[in-house]
């Protein structure tokens, strides 16, 4: 018996939630979620109880929706053949007790149907990839938090899944390990896979993701590429920091525009903070004013065009999920 193809040629390469709700008794998990996730890195962001883990459990077949439909590559997520193409790393620091790192990874591969020799080879490779070769034959109980996180990652990627779902994968990792994990996830996405992560470390989400899904109270507040989502938040004009040699002249020119709602002079009088409702028109205006008035511009930086700002505007709080 050999592994069947992951999907037929005409199966859609996407994860689709169609009006999906999940209730745990009377407790709401997610509510009427309609969402399509495509290959690349997608981050789920939201406060505790927002529904991130529920969404992950639904797409990995661990939970079935109360209402609506979930399709992964055109199949139900609990389809056994599909599950062979999914790697899921839970948020819990959870392991069957007493296992060594190598046996933990090998047992997962055996459940995927790999013969013992192949499981041993792949487990070795996965552990090497996460930098745990030296500790592979030690019991997981004696691992540090960062090592446990890395062995879970090895457990998730060892069978080379097309869809990698990771709940808080960067928790407990030191900066070097975080960089390595991010590089690994980028590799997976670059090879054409789906990488779906939830994280509360927003600056890393910002650096990592092609796309974000912001959740709050079980509902999707926004989804899409971060800059696109930011552009659609009309209630909060985009803020742009411009460092230049003549900020007073630039301020006078831009204030005359109807889409510019606020201009603040920087404390060192070498820059401006401009709030605009139309970023595209503002950038065109900036080019024209700089050329016509001979203003030397050092830098132009969007001040709130990141996931922190998007999160703060949509969910509230201080821009950091709890």
Partner 1 sequence: MAVADRTWKPYAGPLTRPRWRFLVLPRHAWQEVFASRMFGLFFALCFFVPVICAGLIYIRHNVSALAALNVVPTSLPEINARMFLAALTLQAQFGFLLAFLVGPAIVSSDLRNNALPLYLSRPLSRGEYVLGKFCVLAILLSAISWAPFLLLFALQSALADPGWIAANARIAPAILASSLAWLVFLSLLTLALSAWMRRAATARLMMVFVYIVLAGLGNAANKVLDTRWGDLLDIVKVYKTIWAGAFGLGDVADLPVAAAWAMLGGFSGLSLLLLWRKVRAAEVVR
Site for partner 1 in 186-225 (CB under 8 A): 190-193
**155 touching partner 1, by CB under 8 A:** yes
Q: How far is the CB of 183 from partner 1 (least distance, A)?
A: 17
Site for partner 1 in 44-103 (CB under 8 A): 54, 57, 60-63, 80-81, 83-86, 88, 90, 92, 94-99, 103
C-alpha 136/C-alpha 5 separation (Å) is: 31
Q: How far is the CB of 193 from partner 1 (least distance, A)?
A: 6
Q: How far is the CB of 137 from partner 1 (least distance, A)?
A: 13
From residue 63, give the alpha-carbon distance in Å to each of 20, 66, 78, 277: 12, 9, 9, 42
Residue 68 burial (CB count, 10 A):
17
**162 touching partner 1, by CB under 8 A:** yes
Residues 56 and 42 sit within 8 Å (Cβ to Cβ) = no
**316 touching partner 1, by CB under 8 A:** no
Angle, CA 147 vertex, CA 47 and CA 195 arms, to 5° = 50
Please select the residue that binds partner 1; options are 8, 19, 115, 265, rule is CB under 8 A: 115
Please select the residue that binds partner 1; options are 15, 35, 37, 114, rule is CB under 8 A: 114
C-alpha 214/C-alpha 237 separation (Å) is: 19
What does the CA dihedral 251, 252, 256, 260 come to, rounded to 10 degrees?
10
C-alpha 263/C-alpha 240 separation (Å) is: 10
> Which CB atom, from 105 or from 310, has the smaller least distance to partner 1?
105
Residue in 160, 158, 211 with CA at minimum distance from that of residue 45: 211
Please select the residue that binds partner 1; options are 32, 110, 295, 302, rule is CB under 8 A: 110
Residues within the interface to partner 1 (CB under 8 A): 1-3, 5-6, 13, 24-27, 39, 54, 57, 60-63, 80-81, 83-86, 88, 90, 92, 94-99, 103, 107-108, 110-115, 118, 155, 159-160, 162, 190-193
């Amino acid at each position: 018996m050999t592994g069947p193809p992951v999907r037929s040629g005409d199966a859609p390469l996407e994860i689709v939630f169609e009006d999906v709700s999940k209730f745990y008794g009377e407790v709401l998990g997610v509510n009427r979620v309609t969402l399509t996730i495509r290959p690349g890195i997608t981050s789920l962001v939201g406060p505790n109880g927002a529904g991130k883990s529920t969404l992950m459990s639904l797409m990995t077949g661990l939970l079935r929706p109360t209402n609506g439909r979930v399709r992964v590559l055109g199949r139900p997520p609990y389809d056994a053949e599909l599950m062979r193409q999914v790697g899921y790393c839970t948020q819990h620091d959870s392991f069957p007790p007493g296992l060594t790192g190598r046996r933990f990874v090998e047992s997962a591969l055996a459940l995927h149907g790999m013969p013992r020799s192949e499981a041993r080879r792949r487990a070795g490779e996965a552990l090497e990839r996460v930098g745990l070769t030296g500790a592979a034959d030690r019991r997981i109980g004696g691992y540090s938090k960062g090592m446990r996180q890395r062995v879970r990652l090895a457990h998730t990627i060892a069978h080379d899944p097309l869809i990698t779902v990771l709940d808080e994968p960067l928790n407990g990792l030191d900066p070097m390990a975080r960089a390595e994990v991010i590089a690994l996830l980028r590799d997976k996405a670059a090879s054409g896979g789906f990488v779906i992560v939830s994280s509360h470390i927003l600056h890393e989400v910002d650096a990592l993701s092609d796309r974000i899904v912001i959740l709050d109270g079980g509902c999707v507040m926004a989804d899409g590429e971060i800059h696109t989502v930011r552009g659609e938040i009309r209630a909060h004009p985009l803020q742009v920091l411009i460092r230049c040699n003549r900020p007073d002249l630039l301020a006078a020119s831009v204030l005359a525009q109807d889409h510019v709602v606020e201009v603040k002079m920087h404390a060192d009088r070498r820059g401006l903070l401009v709030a605009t409702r139309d970023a595209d028109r503002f950038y065109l205006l900036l080019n024209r004013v700089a050329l016509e008035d001979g203003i030397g511009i050092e830098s132009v930086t969007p001040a709130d065009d990141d996931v922190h700002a998007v999160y703060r505007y949509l969910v509230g709080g201080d821009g950091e999920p709890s």
